[in-house]
Structure 1
Amino acid sequence: MLTNSTSSRQTGHAFYNDAIQFKNSTNNGRVISFSTTFIFEIVQKYPSSDGHGMAFVISPSKEFRGARPAGYLGLFNDINTGSSSNHIVAVEIDTFKDVEFDDRDNNHVGIDINGLKSIISASAGYFPAGKNGTFKDLKLKNGDPMQVWVEYNGLEKQINVTLSPINVTKPDLPLISLRRDLSPVILDNMYVGFSTSTGRLTASDYYILAWSFRMNGEAEQIDLSRIPKIPQPSQEIDREPNAVLEVLFPFILFLVLLLVSLAGGLLISRKKFIDVLEDWEVQYGPHRFSYKDLSIATEGFEERKLLGGGGFGTVYRGVLPTLNTQFAVKRVAHDSRQGMREFVAEIATIGCLRHPNLVRLLGYSRHKQELLLVYDYMPNGSLDKFLYGQRRGMLNGMQRFQIIKDVASGLFYLHHQWVQVVIHRDIKASNVLIDSHFNARLGDFGLAKLCEHGTDPQTSHVAGTLG
C-alpha cells in the first residue's frame, strides 16, 4: 500500500533499496535498455471522490524533499516541476484532471520527463492481442488489478508503455510510444520505484501487488497465481463523506473549540521556547531538524564527535537513534555579519541540488544564535587529509584520477546542467569530501553565487580562500 484514504494530502513512496546502473563505459554514455512490469490496484472508497494517481519513477534519489501531494504525485513542487536538474523519468497513472498540467482527462497514462506536463499521454485502455483488436477503454479506479509494461530500447531510443487487465494476454500494441533519447536525463546510477499522493478530499487506496524489473532484457513474467488479495472496505464505513459529517459535525465542533482553548493556554506558556520563522524559512521549512534531536544525536556536541573545523565553524558526527543513520552536522560560525547570509545561501543552493558528486544536504536547524546544517556523513573525510594531512600518500594514481573526474563532473552539473548556473567560488581540497568507496563529492556552498544561463554573473570582488 502506497497511500490510503485515512488522511488527506499525504505522499507515499516504495523504491528498490539499491541504485541501479543505467549506463556503462561500453555504451558510450548511452542508457542501457530496460524493462519492467507491475500490477497495481486502486480502490476508491467513495463514488463521488477522486484520487490523484500514481507513477512508476526513475530518480537519482529515493527521497523527494519539498515534494507536494495531490497533483504533484509526491515527486515535485510548484518551483522545481519542469526543471532539467530533476533527472526524473516517470510513467504516470493519473486519475485526476489537473488543468495546470494540461491533463487530457481524469483517466489517462502519460510519460513525464522532469515535470508533470506529460510529453505524451493517452486515455486508459488497450488493444487486445491479434490483428483486428479494437481499442477497449479501461477505468483505472474500477477496483480491479491491472498490469503495466514499461520498456525502453536503448538502441532505438524508444520507450513503450502498455496497459491491460491481468486476465488478458499482453497486447501487441503499446498504449503510448515515445521516441526519445533518455541519456541526457538518466544518470549513471538511478533508483526505481513508485510514488503517489492524496489530495484534500481524496478517498482512494493505492496498491502495488507485484513488480518485476530487468536491465538489458525482458522483465520476468509475473506469476498471477501469487497475486495477493487486498483488504475489502468495510460496508459500515463505506458511506458518502457528507452523510458521515452530518452525524459527527456537532461533536467535532465541540472538540475543536475545546482544543483551541487548551492550545491557546499551552502556546502562551511555551512561547519563550518557540523560534519565529523568517521569510526564507517558510520556503525551506520542510528541511528543518529540531535542535534537540541534533543535540542528542551528537551527544551534546561532544568533543570526541568532532570531525573537523575551519573558518566556517565546526563539524560533528551524529547518529539518529530512530533511523540508525550517521550524518554530519556543521555548526556555522555566526560571529560575523556574513554568518547568516552564508547559512541561508547554502540551504537555498545545495538544498535543491541532486548529483552523485555533490554532498547531499539533509536539512538544517536554528536555535537562538545556533545555525546548523545537516549532511550525509562522508567516512573518509576531506581530500586535504590525503594530500597534506595524516593520511598523506594513501591515494594511488587511479584513485587520484577518479577524484579529479568526480569533481569535474560535479562542476559540470553546477555550471551547465542545473536550472541556474551555480558558481561555487571556494573550490579547495578541504571542501572535497570522500565517501566510503573513495568517490569525491563537492561540498560547502556558503560562498556560492547563482546566475542565469547566458548572463554575466556580475562578480565585483574576490571570493574564496586566499592561497
Structure 2
Amino acid sequence: MLLEHFHLATLFLLLVTTAGGVGGQKFTYNGFAGSNLDLDGVAGVTPNGLLMLTNGPIQMKGHAFHPSPLPFRAARSFSTTFVFSIFGQYIDLSAPGLAFVVTTSKEMHATALPGQFLGLLNTTNNTNPNAHFFAVELDTLLNVDFRDINSNHVGINVDSLVSRAAADAGYYDDATGRFQNLSLISRKAMQVWVDYDGAATEITVTMAPLGLARPSKPLLRTTVDLSTVLQHQDTAYVGFSSATAVLFARHFIVGWSFALDGPAPTLDISSLPALPPTGPKPRSRVLEIVLPIASATVVLAVGIAVYIFVRRRLRYAEVREDWESAFGPQPFSYKDLYQATKGFSDTNLLGAGGFGSVYKGVLRKPDMDTEVAVKRVSHQSRQGMKEFIAEVASMRRLHHRNLVQLLGYCRRKGELLLVYDHMPNGSLDKYLHDPMPGKGMLEWAQRFHIIRGVASGLSYLHEDWEQIVIHRDVKASNVLLDGEMNGRLGDFGLARLHDHGSDAQTTHVVGTMGYLAPELGHTGRATPSTDVFAFGAFLLEVTCGRRPIEQDERNNRVMLVDWVAEQWRKGSITKAADVRMPNSFCLDQVSLVLKLGILCCHPLHNARPTMRQVVQYLDGDLPLPEFSPVYLGSTMLELMYSAEFFNKNLMTYVSSGVISDLSTGR
C-alpha cells in the first residue's frame, strides 16, 4: 500500500509541477486537487479540484500563485493557457472579474482592495510604476475611472488598472473570420491563451469556448516590455487574482499550464474537474415517464398556454430584490407604466438626453386619470445599484412646491424607470431660446417669479431638508413649468446626498459646460457652492435670454458672465437684459438679478452667497453687498476653462456623455 501511494504521488508531481520541463520552467494543473498552490484571501480548492478564487461574499478578494518563483531573467518569453468560469448572481449583472498576473512580489496583494481593484491595487497605488506587475484582466464591471470600454472585456495591464489595450470578450471564427461575442458571466467554461515574445516584446491574448481549438487570429496584440515591468529581476511569480464588489460571485480556474521559452503544455480537457451545475434541477422520473405518454393535444395546449403566459410575464417582468423592501412598497408596476406611455411610443416622447429618455404617461384609475413623466435610465450606474436605489428612495421624500416631485420607481431587466409629476408647459429652456409657435416670450414678471421659485427650491435642498442635496446640473433645461407657469427644478439624475456637517464623496466632474464652477477642475468635488455658481449662470441666462457660453461673429467663445460684467463697466448693466421681453420691467429689479448672478459666479467659492442668502436678496430682506465689475479680477473664461481644466478634466467626461454639449447647454 505504501509503495502504491508513493507511485501515485510521484505521478501527480510530474503532472502539476514540471510536466516535462527542467527547473520548474513548465507545469500543468489538470485540476487542483492536492496541489500546493500559494493561496490567500478567500481562495481555496473545492473537493473535486476546482480552484475557487472567490467563494461568493461581497467585498472579498482571493489570490492563487504557483508556489515557487520562476526564472524570468532578461524577460524571457513565456506561454500560458488556463480555463476559467465566472458564476454571478445574475446573468446580466456581475461583480468584477479576475486576472492572470505576473509579479515580482506577492506582498503587493496584502494591501490591495477588492471590488473594482481586482485584488491587485488600491486607491493610493493605482498607476504606480513601482507596482511591478503584468496582468491580463477578464473584467465584468464597467468602471469609468479605469477607462473600461464596457462591462464584458479583456484587457492587458501594466502597473495599473487602466488597460494598455482592451477588446470585447470573444474570438474570431477560423471558418468565417467573423467575431463571436462571449459573455464572461455566462457560467460557461472558457479557455484563454497568453503568449509573450521576449525578443519582439509582444503580447498576444486569445480566448474561445472550452473545447474549441485555439483560434488562429488573437483577440489582442500589443507591445509590452516585461524587462521594465520586472525591473530586470531574476525571478517572478505567476498566478491569479480576483475580487467581489456589491454582488455575490464565484470565480473558478478549472485548469492551468505554463511554460518559459516554449508553448504551454496542452490541457487534458477530459481530466478537468466539472463546474457546479448551472441549470434547473433535473425532472423527477415520474415526469419523465408520464409526460411522453400524454396526448399530443394536451401537450400542445399546455405549450401554447405556457408560451402566452411566459410572453406576457416577460413583457411586464420587473426586478425586485429583498434589500429593496427597506425602501417601502412601490406604487407603480411596469405593466402600468408600459400601458400609460402606450408602450413607450415615440408619440409620447417628451425628450431625450445623455441620461435617458422621458415619456408622457397617463395612469388611468377609477376615480381619476393622472399625468406623469416616466424617465428610462440605464441599469448600469456609475455607483452601485443598491446605493442608487437608496438615493432614489430618499428623494421620494423631497417635497417642495418648486421641485418636480419624484413619485417612485420601477426596475425591469436592464433599465430603471423613474416616475415624476408631469409638467404640462415643458422646460424653461424652450421659452428662452426656442419659443414655441403661439406662445410669446416670457415677460419680466414671469421670469422673476420662476427665478425666485428655483432659488427657494435650491435653498430647501441645501439647508432645509434632513440631508444636503447637491443637484449638480442646475440649468434652464432642467427647470420645468407647471400649469401655472411656476418654475420647478427637476432631473435629479446627477444629484448627490450627504449628511449635514459632512462632505459629499463624489469626485467626478459632471454637469454642463457654462454652469460648472472653476474649482471643479481642481477638486472634482461638488458642493452647495458649485450649485450656487450654476444658479448664477442660470440667473444671467434667464434675464439676458442668452446661453452661458456663445460664439461671436469671429467664432470666439464668449462667456455670458464676462459680457454682462462688460455692460456694467460701460455704465448700464440693465442693457444686458433680453430686449425681446414684452412690456416694461423694473430696472432696479433687473439690475439686482444681474449683479446677483455675477456674485454667484465669482471664481472664488467662498465669495459666493448661500442659497438662503440669495432668497433673502431676491425678497429684499437683505441688501446686496456693494461691489464693482473689477471685483471679479481676471476674466471668468480664463479661470473656468483654462487648458488644464479643459484637457485634464472635461474631455474624458465629454467623450463619455457625462458632460452636456458646450454650445447648446442641453
TM-score, normalized by length of structure 1? 0.48
**Greater C-alpha Rg:** 2
TM-score, normalized by length of structure 2? 0.34
Q: Which has the higher contact order (CA 8 A, sep 6+)?
A: 1
